[in-house]
Structure 1
Amino acid sequence: MTAATPQGATRPPLFAGAQAQNVTSPDLAGLAAASCAEAGADSWLVAGATTLGQTSLVLLSNPTSVDATVNLDIFTETGRVAAPGATGIVVPAGAQKVVPLAGLAPSATAPVVHVTTTGGSVVASMQQSFEQGIDPRGVELAGVTGAPSRVQTISGVTIASLAAVTAAQSAEAVSVEFPTVRVFAPGTQDAQITIGAVGEAGTAAGNSFAQTVKAGHVAEIPLDHLKDGSFDVTVRSNVPVVAAVHPSVIGAKTRDFAWFVSSPPITDSQLVAVPPGPGARVHFANAADKDVTVKIQPASGSAIRLTVPAEGGTSASVNPGRYTLTGGDGLVVGVSFSGDGQTSSFAVSPAGPLAAPIEVYPH
């Protein structure tokens, strides 16, 4: 779904789009939601795996009128991956290319992909599916995460059926279904990080802890001592890092997983498209030291007003449709879906430079 401000508006037009797919087949099942994104020349994918039963595809879409040459720099828990086929990938104008990650980084537990382009720009995303034996364990479409920064905020991380997930763990190691934070420090200096999980209003309090992440290596850190609920996860580091959170759910008959990615704060006016899906909620994280009141205006009907507490978060249940957010300048926003054995999410990102007016000066 898409939307825009009326023609003749004084501010730049607002656009938003999103999709949700509910997959039900003998070997593939789960809920996958994603938002439309602007094309760019530099982006990060913090998601995926290529171990047994995991299938991860890098999707590269070029909406521009110029061919794009794409380079994929891949990092895993063992460091940088030497993959000659990951450079010089040509994505024709107006076309899409699908790159199987297993062909470039086989047996990777925790990959991170840095996507850079020359020529045209691309929209990058990661399609991941998990099958254990003959049983499907979920699907997800993961969008790009926030650029490397010393602070990464991930809003509305939804933890559900944690008791069942914990009971399914082995004594030897944490399984892929346990909620974890994936962190990567792309520089040459090790990252001293602190991870804090703060429960949204009305949920459990959360937890925080510190750890060192080796430079150039991807780390996955379990989110211990949490309960079912929604949390704002903040990663603070002495050097720039990228981060995302990976929770799973176990339902009565199905299982699924999601990727919650970090995103920059929105501006005062933001459009959000919510596709059909179970238990849709819009989440707000507030890193400031003052409460913020945000207005959620549907395309038709009454507005919702929320007070987002300082250094905390809150959320609202929403129906499928188009929503305009006002008063939320500086908030980090995401949309989540949660049902029995189903979960997915996408971040709400502010408009990029392409959405701004272009000033032309006489000479």
Structure 2
Amino acid sequence: MSTTRSAVNTGVRLGIAVVVVAAVVTGTALAVAAGLPGHRATPVSTTVSPAAESSVLACDGPILALGRDTASAGKVSVATAQKLTSGSVPGTAPTRTTTLASPDVAGAQGPQSLITPPTGRAPAQVGASVSAQLSAADLSGFAASACQPAIAQSWLVGGSAGTGSNDLVLLANPGAVAATVQVTVYGPSGPQIPPGGADVIVPARTQRVIPLAGLALGTASPVVRIVSSGAPVQASIQTSIIRTLVPGGVDQVSAAESAAKALLIPGVRVTGAAGAGSSPLSVLRMLAPNADARATVTVRGPDGRTALTRTVPLTAGQPIEVALEGLKTGTYSVRVTASAAVVAGVWNATGTGAGDDYAWNAAAPSLGTTATVAVPDGAGAVLSVVNSGARTASVTVKPVSGGPSQTLSLPAGGAKDVPVNPGTVYRLIPRAGGQVAAAVSFASAHALAAFPVWAADAASPELTVYP
């Protein structure tokens, strides 16, 4: 074989090899792009745990009085201070308590705010609440409420701007950035943002106080929606009434975070029945904010048996009230199921005479994780736990400072009342898979109050990062 032919043959072989290699590379690239059968590309990633933030709770603050200064009928002043009860689980970092500014209240300090650093990646398990008893010519009764985290949206089902009412909308901003709040009032004419409710500025570490009559003058049964931007706020309504110059009770209305098709209101304490021809002592207020709805109301006693059922049509944007009549003395839960999202609350009274009191019971969130609840001072304190799920649930009630615990087994729809000690902080620990709702309530001859139990913030979920 000549040298020339050998070189040609070698070149041909090299050319073929190059073509084959190129084809293989090209085919491989196409196969990777298209995905080879059985082959799955795994991108490089890493998992990180975000740092937890401090738990921040804001309290409602002192009981306020409107119009005590005859020279300035619109001035708000302090009627009495509230007593704070707080605590956390062992191993939690110390809680720092601060006082918010309150520029709308004459010469007084504002409500308290509690800041607790996280425990590792989990937010602190801390609970706080306040209560007060007073008897004055313009304000009389007992009030208790939980200190709550600030949220971006709140629904306040309760209060009145009718004759004899001196109700106040309370907006607390415990954060470091100012909040801008829109206050929407739902009444007989539907939703409205009144001039006094548009773009309300709540400075950092400040509570604003707005008379409800300035937002909804003459509206007897309003529902108030609070929407905040810039920073979340803790919202509530202080409500009181005077009937023919006689004070008839005081309370603080707790917020619900959202409307829903199913609501549960536990811990409604009925202390007696209304007399013949008298106004009802238990009333449910409801609102379907966005669409017409049909709601079914079911009232159950502590034994889980149905005491009352009503089916009620709702017109979008217009609150409605339903009397809950014929209930005997005891503790009840009220369930509302509707064809569209609704909000609801129950007004309940010991009577309508001198020395009587009332409470607004708010809907309670479903608890699938541990909750920490502080029981403030007050007579007849009870923790009501209701199974909000469709199967048997188990929950343990345990004082954070030690002592005996109780484990409750609740059938679907079942409820149990646990007497609790004022000034004590408890943990509610649902067994995995269980869903319960709970409320703390107080009842005596002439005192009523109640507030729902909220779960602690969940730990920040892990994040997957792709470099």
User: Which structure dedicates a bigger proportion of its chain to strand?
Assistant: 1
The 3 A distance-change label for structure 1 pair 316 and 295 is same
In 2, the alpha carbon distance for the partners of 1:146 and 1:25 equals 33
Say which of 161, 166, 171 aligns to 2:275. Answer: 166
Say which SS state the counterpart of residue 2 (structure 1) adopts: strand
- 1:78 Cα deviation from its structure 2 partner: 3.5
In 2, the alpha carbon distance for the partners of 1:358 and 1:120 equals 24
> What does residue 36 of structure 1 align with?
147
In 1, the alpha carbon distance for the partners of 2:211 and 2:144 equals 20
- 1:314 Cα deviation from its structure 2 partner: 1.2
- 1:9 Cα deviation from its structure 2 partner: 6.1
Say which SS state the counterpart of residue 54 (structure 1) adopts: coil
In 2, the alpha carbon distance for the partners of 1:129 and 1:356 equals 40
2:301 paired with 1:192: no
2:212 paired with 1:101: yes
2:175 paired with 1:72: no
Structure 2 counterpart of 1:272, which letter?
V
Spell out, residue by residue over 1:19-51, the C-alpha distance to the aligned partner (whole angstroms, 9 max, x if none): 111111122110100001111111111110011
> What does residue 172 of structure 1 align with?
none
- 1:306 Cα deviation from its structure 2 partner: 2.3
> What does residue 232 of structure 1 align with?
333
Residue pair 2:181, 2:226 contacting (<8 A) in 1 also: yes
Say which of 439, 443, 458 aligns to 1:334. Answer: 439
Spell out, residue by residue over 1:265-323, the C-alpha distance to the aligned partner (whole angstroms, 9 max, x if none): 11332211001101000011113333323221112321123222321211111112011
The 3 A distance-change label for structure 1 pair 77 and 159 is farther
> What does residue 210 of structure 1 align with?
311
> What does residue 281 of structure 1 align with?
382
In 1, the alpha carbon distance for the partners of 2:180 and 2:319 equals 26
The 3 A distance-change label for structure 1 pair 111 and 352 is farther
What RMSD in Å do the two structures reach over aligned CA positions? Answer: 2.1
2:204 paired with 1:128: no
Structure 2 counterpart of 1:86, which letter?
G
Residue pair 1:252, 1:341 contacting (<8 A) in 2 also: no
Residue pair 2:364, 2:454 contacting (<8 A) in 1 also: yes
The 3 A distance-change label for structure 1 pair 357 and 16 is farther
Find the structure with the greater CA-based Rg. Answer: 2
- 1:79 Cα deviation from its structure 2 partner: 2.1
In 2, the alpha carbon distance for the partners of 1:361 and 1:37 equals 33
Q: Which runs of 4+ in 1 moved over 3 A?
A: 7-12, 355-363
Q: TM-score normalised to the size of structure 1?
A: 0.91
2:359 paired with 1:258: yes
> What does residue 271 of structure 1 align with?
372
Q: TM-score normalised to the size of structure 2?
A: 0.72
The 3 A distance-change label for structure 1 pair 273 and 358 is farther
Residue pair 1:41, 1:116 contacting (<8 A) in 2 also: yes
In 1, the alpha carbon distance for the partners of 2:412 and 2:128 equals 29
Gaps of 5+ in 1: 170-174
The 3 A distance-change label for structure 1 pair 274 and 168 is farther
> What does residue 351 of structure 1 align with?
456
Residue pair 2:173, 2:204 contacting (<8 A) in 1 also: yes
Say which SS state the counterpart of residue 226 (structure 1) adopts: coil
In 2, the alpha carbon distance for the partners of 1:344 and 1:356 equals 34
Spell out, residue by residue over 1:177-217, the C-alpha distance to the aligned partner (whole angstroms, 9 max, x if none): 52111100110x2110000001112x874111101011110
Spell out, residue by residue over 1:161-190, the C-alpha distance to the aligned partner (whole angstroms, 9 max, x if none): 22xx33461xxxxx3x52111100110x21
User: Which structure dedicates a bigger proportion of its chain to helix?
Assistant: 2
Residue pair 1:199, 1:312 contacting (<8 A) in 2 also: no
Spell out, residue by residue over 1:33-79, the C-alpha distance to the aligned partner (whole angstroms, 9 max, x if none): 00011111111111100111111100000001000011101111332
In 1, the alpha carbon distance for the partners of 2:369 and 2:377 equals 26
In 2, the alpha carbon distance for the partners of 1:318 and 1:34 equals 15
Residue pair 1:166, 1:178 contacting (<8 A) in 2 also: no
The 3 A distance-change label for structure 1 pair 117 and 289 is closer
In 1, the alpha carbon distance for the partners of 2:380 and 2:193 equals 42
Structure 2 counterpart of 1:330, which letter?
Q
- 1:141 Cα deviation from its structure 2 partner: 0.6
The 3 A distance-change label for structure 1 pair 9 and 200 is farther
- Percent identical pairs in the alignment equals 31
In 1, the alpha carbon distance for the partners of 2:266 and 2:180 equals 33
Residue pair 1:70, 1:115 contacting (<8 A) in 2 also: yes
The 3 A distance-change label for structure 1 pair 277 and 204 is farther
Residue pair 2:373, 2:453 contacting (<8 A) in 1 also: yes
In 2, the alpha carbon distance for the partners of 1:252 and 1:98 equals 29
Say which of 198, 201, 212 aligns to 1:90. Answer: 201
Residue pair 2:180, 2:228 contacting (<8 A) in 1 also: yes
> What does residue 281 of structure 2 align with?
178
Gaps of 5+ in 2: 1-84, 93-118
Residue pair 2:167, 2:213 contacting (<8 A) in 1 also: yes
- 1:360 Cα deviation from its structure 2 partner: 8.9
Structure 2 counterpart of 1:244, which letter?
G
> What does residue 144 of structure 1 align with?
255
In 1, the alpha carbon distance for the partners of 2:251 and 2:221 equals 15
> What does residue 229 of structure 2 align with?
118
